[in-house]
A and B are shown apart, each in its own frame.
Chain A
Amino acid sequence: MTGKAMPTLTIDGKSISVKPGSTVIQAADRLGIFIPRFCYHPALSVVGSCRMCMVEIERLPKLQTACTTPAVDGMVVHTGTDKVRDARRSILEFLLINHPIDCPVCDKAGECFLQDYYMEYGLYTSRYLEERWNKRKVFVLGPTIVMDEERCVLCSRCVRFFDEVSGVKRLGIFERSAESYLSTYPGEVLNDPYCGNVVDLCPVGALTDRDFRFEQRVWMLKHGDAVCPFCARGCNITVDYNEKSGIQINDRRVYRFRPRYNPEVNGYWMCDTGRYGCRTVDSPERITEPLMREGKRIIPVVWETMIKKTALRIREVIDQDGPECIGLIVYPSVTCETAGAAKRLFVEHLGVRNVSTGFPVDPSAYEDDILIRKDRFPNRRGLEEAGLSGGRDAEWILGAWGKGELKLLYVIGDDLPRLLNKQKPSPIFEAEGVLILQKSTAGPEDEFARMILPSVMSLEEDGTFINFEGKAQQFKAVVSPFGESLGSGDILARLARALGLDTETA
């Protein structure tokens, strides 16, 4: 062997050639043969400490850990022999010695490696006659993370995450022997922008998310693929939701965003801003029905009326003052499809020229070289490519709006950074003209609005975002629209019809 050749090995009768330097577990993963593991994670350094991934390799007398054993040409590996199953059983027995077996109240139950492996390889009668060791429970490590020391298997995944991925050493395993325990370094708090990932990484219920704690049994959850809308990275996520939670409007509730592996975008991770952005989906501030101002009051109306009245106001302004008196702001929170529909309707058919895609990226915003981008909108590139951004800047439009030069201002999409940071004031203020908002969530500018058309959030519709690197990511609706809200494109199509236009053939 030259050392550069691809070694070919056989695992459970299946052959595979792998890159030199690959390990047995990597080869097995590629073959779709799952070898149980706790400490091994493809994105973290290999420590080989849990000893769960032991396999039998022909011509080697001892079992070997698959995560540390380099794949060698001609190697023959068995992952399901009695000896291997017995080794897995014994590792589980060791790990469960002081485990509280509190699955009924553990958030991890249902997605816990320890539980799953026990059902597969354990199922023994406990031989442990000694008293169990009570350790720290509900130990708060930071604003979002709680630790249960009794459930910890000391796999060090979380430790390595901070050391190697988020880059700041926060956690360590202290003491030695069976007295080893996981904790933050003295004075450290888990508050960096990626903390939530350690909850996903934790193979057991040791680290739980205070946001999700006791909220829902995971087997009640359904899962959908989505793209995170909270910055220009466009992390791929899994949305965990329940269609029949019994506690929300529409009876559905989104509980959790988790990162979904995509090597080209976000790897295995996502940031906490995106993760806890899931709270915005079923926020009590979501707008559930079309709203129209009548004098000082704002009252709900049916969609038919809403669309008719909105079209009427637009037509009035066009006829009386001309399209130069209409302003359009499309936030880069909308999909490429909505941007296209907005362009066809307002620019191409109605001749509106005062178009802006919101405010420029805040240069003082936080950004790092892991995931988080300064641009907190998901689709600025998409709007640019849709040709929406060549018009005015938002500053100019709001200036004209304030001076009364614009008779009607139509705003599409949500000011997402403001949604996440409520302290941030809305840039839209009271003026003479007609303010029409098409968005998902209530905000301070609503009191100036003549009409509010509730639109869905991105995970309630099909669409495409183009991230800052120019990568177009399509997604499907994961959950049903909130309340009576409609897809943004749908609203614009209805408006077009009410205006007597056929935007399909622009």
Chain B
Amino acid sequence: MEKILTKNFDKPGSHTLKVYEEGGGYEALRKVLALWTPEQVAAEVKKSNLRGRGGAGFPTGLKWGFVPKDSPKEKYLCVNADEGEPGTFKDRMILERDPHMLLEGAILASYAIGAGKAYIYIRGEFALGGERMETAVSEAYARNYLGPNILGSGFCLDVTVHYGAGAYICGEETALLESIEGKKGWPRIRPPFPAVAGLFRRPTVINNVETLANVPHIINQGAEWFASLGTEKSGGTKLFCISGRVNRPGLYELPLGTPLRRMIEEEAGGVIGGKRIKGVIPGGASCPVLTEKEIDVPMDFDSLARAGSMLGSGAVIVLDEETSMVETLLNLERFFARESCGQCTPCREGTRWFVQVLTRIAKGKGTDGDPDLLLDIADHMAGRTVCPLGDAAAGPVKSFVTKYIQEFLPIS
């Protein structure tokens, strides 16, 4: 299969402007600024069936379309590079190996939505990725891919690289906005939606790194080409981060719709020591787990939704027959309990309660009522919180406890 996003990853100096330009970098930008209107860019992306790669899979063209056209207010683009979903390491690789691809995508998106200012919000721990991104931004300024009157087109764009301070919640788009504004990363209530009142209460689009990295390719090779790569409803390839008990963990660029089992067995070389698969988390820590019987599912947004899980960020975590599902779930819930922003009641209290009950079960002090209690807490969290973190914490509980209930009951 043709690699798109990762095609430059193994070239020496792939993160430099020189190498990026040698591979045709910034040609999409030159083409667009010379010949295309912003509406054409947005229309092309819409036609490509590109869907957000941050986890929710929202159609990118549609999202851009929500920005009010006639608003006199300044508009912003925010690049969400706060990759923190456990098991996920795809955006990091783009930042480290091909930051100009992301930057070109961000410039094209800014042009499409009429933003004059873009923020790249990078997870604070990404030292190398951040450094390379900052260098890329300086190089782009020097070449007038950024700044005033870009390439003589009249379009102006300034980019600021902003670092997170270690909170998972700041990857939630409205918490990210709060964080850029210098506030505590507490997700906002919606409405108003960021497209109408986002950063500094101005119209704002927030896109994931991988999402934007696709945009130059869509411009260069056309929406039809991109759409043809994926499934009917979602175009392009996807970066999958395969980890857990597999022989070859790592980053894989594969077409959307690749069956999960084939991904594990062929791409990742199967389970270590030929052990049986007990379960697979298909899209990162917040996605419901799939049992061994369920992993023939094609890995795309809609198929996984039908299977009761999510594609999420494409982080495939493989659990083998020796893995304790109680310990695994406890590990996940510890993460969510620590990362809950603490703002709203069900998430703040529920995540901690999960950890307490699971710790008790893990210590062999569980009761017959614990599985029901866990499920009931999850039911009262899911869909009732300010932001999706409540759902993210409840989803794994529901799936782990229902699918592996024997492990959560006391040994009788």
Contacts and interface: CB of A to CB of B under 8 A. Distances in A.
Interface residues of B, number: 33
Interface in B337-374: 337-346, 348-353, 356-357, 360, 367, 369, 373
A296 interface: no
Contacts of A94: 345-346, 348-350, 353, 380
B295 to A, nearest CB: 29
Interface string B154-198: 000000000000010100000000000000100001110000000
Contacts of B342: 154, 173, 175-180
Contact of B367 (A49, A97, A129): A129
Nearest to B373: A127
B332 interface: no
Contacts of B340: 176-178
Given A130-B353, A177-B337, 13 more contacts: A47-B189, A50-B344, A86-B380, A94-B346, A94-B350, A129-B360, A129-B367, A130-B356, A154-B348, A176-B342, A177-B338, A177-B341, A178-B340
Interface string A125-136: 001111000000
Contacts of A54: 384
Given A95-B349, A153-B345, A48 B383 contact: no
B373 A51 contact: no
A282 B27 CA distance: 83
The interface centre, meaning the residue of A47, A49, A95, A127 with most chain B CB atoms within 10 A of its CB, is A49
A298 to B, nearest CB: 62
Contacts of B6: none
Listed residue (A51, A62, A68, A177) with the most chain B CB atoms within 10 angstroms of its CB: A177
B347 to A, nearest CB: 9
Interface in A71-106: 86-87, 90-91, 93-95, 97
Contacts of A130: 353, 356-357, 360
A51 B346 contact: yes
User: Ordered nearest first, which 5 A-B pairs have the shortest CB separation?
Assistant: A180-B342, A94-B349, A90-B380, A178-B352, A48-B189
A50 B345 contact: yes
A129 B352 CA distance: 13
Contacts of A20: none
A176 B349 contact: no
Interface of A: 46-52, 54, 62-63, 65, 68, 70, 86-87, 90-91, 93-95, 97, 127-130, 153-154, 172-173, 175-180
Contacts of A49: 343-345, 386
Classify the interface of chain A: helix, strand, loop or mixed. loop
B247 interface: no
Interface of B: 167, 169, 184, 189-191, 337-346, 348-353, 356-357, 360, 367, 369, 373, 380, 383-386
23 contacts: A48-B189, A48-B344, A51-B344, A51-B345, A54-B384, A68-B191, A87-B380, A90-B346, A91-B345, A94-B345, A94-B380, A97-B349, A127-B369, A127-B373, A128-B353, A129-B360, A154-B342, A154-B345, A177-B337, A177-B338, A177-B340, A177-B341, A179-B342
Contacts of A50: 344-345
Contacts of A87: 380, 384
A506 to B, nearest CB: 62
A177 B339 contact: yes
Contacts of B351: 177-178
Nearest to B348: A178
A120 B371 CA distance: 28
A153 B343 CA distance: 10
Given A51-B345, A54-B384, A62-B384, A176 B167 contact: yes
B189 A46 contact: yes
Contacts of A173: 184, 342
Nearest to A89: B380
Nearest to A69: B191
B349 A178 contact: yes
Nearest to B372: A127
A62 B345 CA distance: 17
A63 B360 CA distance: 31
Contacts of A97: 349, 352-353
A69 to B, nearest CB: 9
B383 A62 contact: yes
Contacts of A127: 369, 373
